[in-house]
Amino acid sequence: MEKPPSLIGRVFGGYRLVTQLRSGGMGTVYYAEHPVIGRRAAVKILRPEVAQNPQVVARFLTEARAVNDIRHPNVVEITDIGVSEGLHYIVMSFLEGETLGERLERDRVLDEASAIRIVRQVASALGAAHERGIVHRDLKPENIFLLNHPDYPDYVKVLDFGIAKLIGDQASPESHLTEGGTVVGTPAYMSPEQCRARGELDHRSDIYSLGVMLYQMLVGQVPFRALSITDVLIAHVQEKPVPPIEINPKLSIHLNAAILRALEKDPGRRFSSMRELRDAIERAPNAIPPGLTEETFAKREQREASFVVDKLTQIILQRLERDSLLIPSMPAIAIQCIGLLDDPNQTFSDVGKLVGRDPVLASRVLRMANSAAFPGKVAVATLEQAIVRMGTEGLKLALVNYSMYQAFSSKNERIRSSFRGIWEHSLAVALVAKELAERLTGSQLPDPAGVYLAGLLHDVGKPVVGALLLEAERLISDKQSELPWISHSVWTRVVNGSHRRVGTALARKWNLPAQISSAIEGASSYDPSVPVSFANLVCLANAFAKQEGLYAGDVDLAQIDDLVAKGKRLLGLSDEVMADLRTGLYQRVGTLLELKPPAIKPPAS
């Protein structure tokens, strides 16, 4: 049989295939890079032989539509879909880390805290899918990806909605992709109703499958194992699972009960929603000291968080007053450029020569001039052309952009990795806020460039506070390693409780307009008394970016949806405007990310 030609080097959706990552029954996934901006992606290509089946192609397209409909931070992002020379493809975010399957193959059993952390995120993502009428139907450890993220251990991305099915009012003829009696899924994780292949599946089928995964994480094996697939299917339908606590006696009683309820044969006896499952496993006492009830432990942790936040904030304010808090300064080259821009006797050619002294800055100026922030019919090739297109205010914007990126390119890998997520989110907020400002009508409208900077800087205090916590953690570990450091939830509350004051101080130190400082302070709520303000625009853009999945932390989707709805009403925005903002947002953010810079031509002499 003749070997099919290699696809390595071919371009799909603007990305050149570099190497094969994995291959499955439906298609092959490749690591790919954008040949111009260097952005990395995973490209999934449907096998030509299976593409002959219209149902399979429809299922392949359903995956892209399903993921785009969900828009949740714990669901892998799909940025493009298409057909090239007869090959169907999907372009997805490239993920670094390992699957839950690979983790279990290595570690076999996870501790309760890790298992709960993973399942909570999976349940959150699937809850969002279920709210949109989408059932995954193929939950298994291989479809749960754990990102390498230092500040969010085991950050989850749910993969492969390839056999997802729409339910209820959202169902369409194209969504019924399997013939009657056909079993779809992975036998070890399938619900009894999936195994019977009769009737419609609803969200409770995913709840069962997630219960199987949680069982496996905590005891090291799935509840039903047999020599044949048929025996496994029969066991799901007829046999009671061995209670996980009998295999792992250290398992908490509450978690044991939650797993068994998720594994009920009758869907009506399971949890009614992923939210209910999450609540049940989060109530399971996790490392609660003897003598403390769950309620007492939760209250103690909340008091601990409040105490630490208050104390840290006091320390920050005291250091700010004494000018002893280490806040990154604007790089000297940026300060010089801003000084030159404020001199009416200087030309863009002089500014271009100064920018050209710093290759990193020169690269970023060229990239920004050719980005969505400064659209043009043709690409600029020299620094002088870039500065002419951007103008004085635009270049100042680029200089602050550069300064912010430089300020948090920490030597500490944990801070660097954390900042990558903050940076992507901040760019999204900046772009959306700027576009909102440009679409408003009336008098006394905010300056779009200023609003862009406010969005860019709204989370700038997070890496500073994170660095302070890391330093404290290092000192404690050095002196008395047996002392436990604050929990992840407390860490998050500390950062969220103090970073805005630090960001405000940085904006003032960099001599940025007062409206930017106000926007940093007010980015989490609206001020109805001044509808068209920097702060309100950034607040809406911040919520909108989170709603679109451009955020690396935990998200309360109900709260975010409410903030977006309130912002639309406050600013009088139509659904059409919000839809326009959504279109191509991932691509616009991607053009601004710090990846591979273009070749730099020397400035004109």
Residues annotated catalytic, as ranges:
138
d(CA 55, CA 58): 5
What is the end-to-end Cα distance of the chain in Å, rounded? 61
Asked if 81 and 91 count as a contact pair (C-beta separation under 8 A), the reply is yes
Distance CA 544, CA 71 (A): 11
Q: Is 344 helix (H, G, I), strand (E, B) or coil?
A: coil
Q: What is the 3-state secondary structure (H, E, C) of 346-406?
A: CCHHHHHHHHCCCHHHHHHHHHHHCCCCCCCCCCCCCHHHHHHHHHHHHHHHHHHHHHHHH
The residue type found at 98 is E
DSSP H helical ranges for 480-592: 488-509, 514-521, 534-547, 557-571, 575-582, 585-592
Q: Are 284 and 255 in contact (CB under 8 A)?
A: yes
Distance, CA of 45 to CA of 30 (rounded, Å): 8
Per DSSP, the chain holds a count of helices (H) and strands (E) of 23, 11
**φ, ψ of residue 528 in degrees (nearest 5):** -65, -20
Strand 78-84 versus strand 155-158 pairing type:
unpaired
SS3 content of the chain, % helix, strand, coil (to 5): 55, 10, 35
Q: Round to whole Å and give the CA distance between 557 and 272.
A: 19
Q: How far is CA 22 from CA 19, 28, 44, in A?
A: 10, 6, 9
Q: Residue 230: what residue type?
A: T
CB 440 within 8 A of CB 532: yes
